[in-house]
Structure 1
């Protein structure tokens, strides 16, 4: 009887010690961990109490607006199943703290701004309020979030506790109470002027929580440890977004535009399709970029070495040629420019 009581007491002690240690278990963001993710504050180029795992930039790469699809299935699942709100505030805080982009608002603040402008037009605002046109800052990029997987209570911690040899009922209760929360998200970075997706990143996060209650220890013991409650699923999702944002910033810092070589983006790809007048080339154009470079050089426009690549010299030569010929000055080898060069 004494041995059984000692075994039970030892099991309770080890289980309580393990759960006490788990009380400080951090959210796992990628390979690093932190107790919180979107912490601290940001204002202008300054930030305070920023998560040490957040990627930082010495200078912003451009302006950005966060565009969340609130009609999507994942958004309805988050707001309905987990009672969470928009992901936009968390992402905006991470973006401004990183100093990698300057956030511009396209949501409620913009509606308020338009309301102030409407008031000025009625003449109700004081003179000099200066809410006229021409002051808005354009958004160079859009950041589009999406939650792909969000699961609560996906597994126990059997491997962690199995080696302790805790007796029967206690072990089963502890193993059944400790659960994993997981999330996987995507972030897409789109250039707003061209519509080209310049980057994409997947992020994931995981943490553990537990539900002790009276079922584990019973009576007063359960009440004593009942303060360890489930971690909100939103914390895991925020961690996944931070992981994705960090990866997106890393590739953005070293960004190299995709190129089609001697073909201009959006004027016909290399994959010909049935019915296309000029499959795999410029629609309506008669010259490749390399041929156009030779033509420009022969006409004295100094496009550089004909290599089929759209460099600065070629772009400037095209702009000079277009200006001289009265064509739209785009710096691109469009159909009208190619036709003029082919004469």
Structure 2
């Protein structure tokens, strides 16, 4: 009986310490502000009034996939959710969906599909940009759960498991998003994001993520694990910065970029005006490389040669390189 009362007293003392600690923390204005900042951050997926272009999201390079170590799906899935919900880009599939589409195209090219399938060359939309998400660092064990371990050791049975589920931890993560222009290969944006979370409560993991509609978005552990939420907030921070940074990009990335080169197909001449009259600037031989400037009048295009000479020729006399 004496042992029973001693263990009961220890349990009461441990529970009292936990309740007091939790009450003090809840009353701490700094913790309250931090929690509100986290919730606002998750709710603030940026929205765009216009599309910034088409984009594909691909996995970072390397044989070591850091997300598998955290038992998380590929970060590309999380970024695609942000892209879709923000409406800032037209998302293109360059993964499993693309592979399946190419199989359908192979069937069409082999004559296996029914007539009127309308599947063929020249239909795939081009990506203006490629985005690569990566992890800079993560600290999954900052802080500690010593109080939780102490309580579960002192209290046995169901009560011990309940107290042991109280999670008091601090976790941080730093990530980076890189966006490359597919036409020029320029890195047009690189933003870093930071995420952290102080969890105090019973089973708090995943609560507000679910309230934001991300729980059912197919992102698995990013919504229902603590470290996943921390990494999610870091990526959201980086994505918000990226959208702001790219807000000044042209609406038509294709037209704004340098034109693809062309190859002269038949012998022709370059003229100084679109009327193709007067003295020729120079003669052009088959196989020579020319660079359209983007200006054109009907079938007559303005081009430059490799020596910087500028003039006009018929687009029927050269082929764009592919």
TM-score band w.r.t. shorter chain? 0.5 to 0.7
Deviation, structure 1 residue 20: 8.3
Aligned residue for 1:200? 190
From the superposition, tell whether residues 8 and 151 of structure 1 become closer, same or farther in structure 2 (CA, over 3 Å): closer
Aligned residue for 2:55? 64
Please give the TM-score of this superposition, normalised by the length of structure 2: 0.58
Count of residues in Structure 1 that have an aligned counterpart in Structure 2: 230
Aligned residue for 2:45? 54
Deviation, structure 1 residue 121: 2.7
Which of 291, 300, 308 is matched with 1:337 structurally? 308
Counterpart CA distance in 1 for 2:177 and 2:237 is: 10
Counterpart CA distance in 1 for 2:33 and 2:106 is: 46
Give unpaired runs (5+ residues) of structure 2: 1-8, 148-153, 156-162, 206-223, 251-257, 259-271, 275-279, 294-302, 312-322
From the superposition, tell whether residues 324 and 146 of structure 1 become closer, same or farther in structure 2 (CA, over 3 Å): farther
Give unpaired runs (5+ residues) of structure 1: 38-50, 162-168, 213-224, 257-264, 266-299, 302-315, 317-322
- Higher mean C-alpha displacement, 195-204 vs 93-102: 93-102
From the superposition, tell whether residues 128 and 337 of structure 1 become closer, same or farther in structure 2 (CA, over 3 Å): same
SS of match in other structure, 1:336: coil
Contact 2:291 2:304 in 1 (8 A): no
Which of 248, 254, 263 is matched with 2:248 structurally? 254
Contact 2:127 2:182 in 1 (8 A): yes
- Higher mean C-alpha displacement, 199-208 vs 63-72: 63-72
Counterpart CA distance in 2 for 1:250 and 1:36 is: 15
From the superposition, tell whether residues 35 and 16 of structure 1 become closer, same or farther in structure 2 (CA, over 3 Å): same
From the superposition, tell whether residues 147 and 12 of structure 1 become closer, same or farther in structure 2 (CA, over 3 Å): closer
1:245 corresponds to 2:236? no
Please give the TM-score of this superposition, normalised by the length of structure 1: 0.55
Counterpart CA distance in 2 for 1:69 and 1:9 is: 46
RMSD of aligned residue pairs (Cα, Å): 4.4
Deviation, structure 1 residue 72: 4.5
SS of match in other structure, 2:291: coil
Contact 1:26 1:34 in 2 (8 A): no
User: Deviation per CA, 1:106-141, whole angstroms, max 9, x where unpaired?
Assistant: 110000000111122333322211111111000000
Deviation, structure 1 residue 70: 5.3
Deviation, structure 1 residue 9: 6.4
From the superposition, tell whether residues 114 and 183 of structure 1 become closer, same or farther in structure 2 (CA, over 3 Å): same
Which of 177, 188, 201 is matched with 1:187 structurally? 177
Q: Which structure's residues are more often strand, by fraction?
A: 2
Which of 10, 19, 23 is matched with 1:13 structurally? 19
Aligned residue for 2:298? none
Aligned residue for 2:227? 233
